[in-house]
């Protein structure tokens, strides 16, 4: 049983997560957030903590940011896009129980004040920005670190916001055969 309450987008996501783990869940109902959902998220964050686990797409990222504003310092889990896609449809509901377990095992706490461990120069030196294959590298590295995919600016923010340490970053780059 996961201690925190997992916040997902919809009912299909709830079913998929329940196939993988025993947990209490809250569905946002998409970006619209029906009446009472914000209050439930806030109460859950204050009582047991929450894990934001949204689809790896634009709408999922918008919902993630909205939930983060409701519950600053919450935890985040990210599912790689390729593990959440079926017939062109992207969503947690398409992921295997193993993929969901793997994503939830890499949960990251969002720091209330982002660190400054990494700079854009680190991304450039590591081929994560300014390189023809930078996007694919960020995608693979984000999966290993459990911080998801983002453009260079978003990725830098995630490295610093989720407290990634340089050793962890370098080990992940080595694991990918990039350093």
User: CATH number, domain at 7?
Assistant: 3.40.1360.10
Share of the chain above pLDDT 70, in %: 99
DSSP-derived pairing of the beta strands 50-52 and 25-27: unpaired
Query: What pLDDT shows up at residue 112?
Result: 81
User: Do 26 and 77 fall into the same domain?
Assistant: yes
140 shares a domain with 54: no
Tokens of residue 178, six digits: 């990039």
CA distance 151 to 92: 21
Q: Nearest Cα to 93, choosing from 49, 57, 133?
A: 57
pLDDT in tens, 82-134: 999 999 999 999 999 999 999 999 999 988 888 899 999 999 999 999 999 99
Q: Please tell me whether residues 100 and 49 are part of one structural domain.
A: yes
55/25 same-domain check? yes
In 3D space, the residue among 133, 132, 138, 135 whose CA is nearest the CA of residue 164 turns out to be 138
Of 42, 49, 46, nearest to 24 (Cα)? Answer: 49
User: What is the pLDDT at residue 42?
Assistant: 97
- Does the structure show a pLDDT above 80 at 34? yes
User: Cβ distance 53 to 8 under 8 Å?
Assistant: yes
Count of domains observed in the chain: 2
**CA nearest to 38, candidates 122, 163, 29:** 29
Within this chain, do residues 28 and 10 fall inside the same structural domain, yes or no?
A: yes
Task: Name the average pLDDT for the chain.
Answer: 95
Between 58-62, 65-69, 117-121, 174-178, the lowest mean confidence (pLDDT) is in 174-178
Q: What is the DSSP letter of 162?
A: T
Residues 153 and 91 both lie in one domain: no
Which H or E element spans position 104? helix 97-105
Q: What is the pLDDT of residue 20?
A: 97
**Range of the structural domain that residue 160 is part of:** 114-179
pLDDT at 177: 86
pLDDT of residue 141: 96
Do 18 and 44 have their domain in common? yes
State pTM to two decimals: 0.90
Q: Look at residue 57 and give its three-state secondary structure.
A: coil
Q: Are residues 100 and 123 in the same domain?
A: no
Same domain, 22 and 72: yes
Q: Please tell me whether residue 75 adopts helix, strand or coil conformation.
A: strand
Domain end point (choices 92, 110, 128):
110
Strand partners, 51: 6, 75
- Of 80, 110, 140, which closes a domain? 110
Domain boundary among 62, 90, 110: 110
**Inter-residue contact 148 to 102 (CB < 8 Å):** no
What's the mean pLDDT in 166-177? Answer: 94
Q: How do 5-8 and 50-52 pair as beta strands?
A: parallel
pLDDT > 90? residue 31: no
Same domain flag for 101 and 171: no
């Amino acid at each position: 049983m996961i201690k925190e309450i997992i916040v997902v987008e919809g009912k299909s996501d709830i079913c998929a997560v329940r196939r993988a783990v025993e947990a209490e869940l809250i569905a946002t109902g998409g970006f619209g957030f029906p009446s009472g959902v914000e209050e439930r998220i806030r109460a859950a964050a204050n009582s047991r903590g929450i894990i934001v686990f949204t689809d790896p797409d634009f709408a999922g990222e918008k919902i993630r940011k909205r939930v983060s504003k409701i519950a600053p310092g919450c935890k985040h889990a990210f599912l790689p896009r390729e593990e959440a896609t079926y017939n062109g449809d992207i969503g947690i509901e398409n992921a295997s129980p193993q993929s969901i377990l793997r994503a939830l095992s890499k949960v990251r706490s969002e720091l209330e004040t982002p660190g400054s461990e990494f700079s854009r120069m680190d991304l450039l030196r590591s081929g994560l920005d300014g390189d023809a294959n930078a996007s694919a590298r960020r995608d693979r590295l984000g999966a290993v670190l459990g911080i998801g995919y983002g453009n260079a600016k978003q990725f830098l923010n995630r490295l610093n916001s989720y407290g990634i340490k340089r050793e962890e970053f370098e080990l992940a780059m080595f694991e990918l055969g990039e350093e």
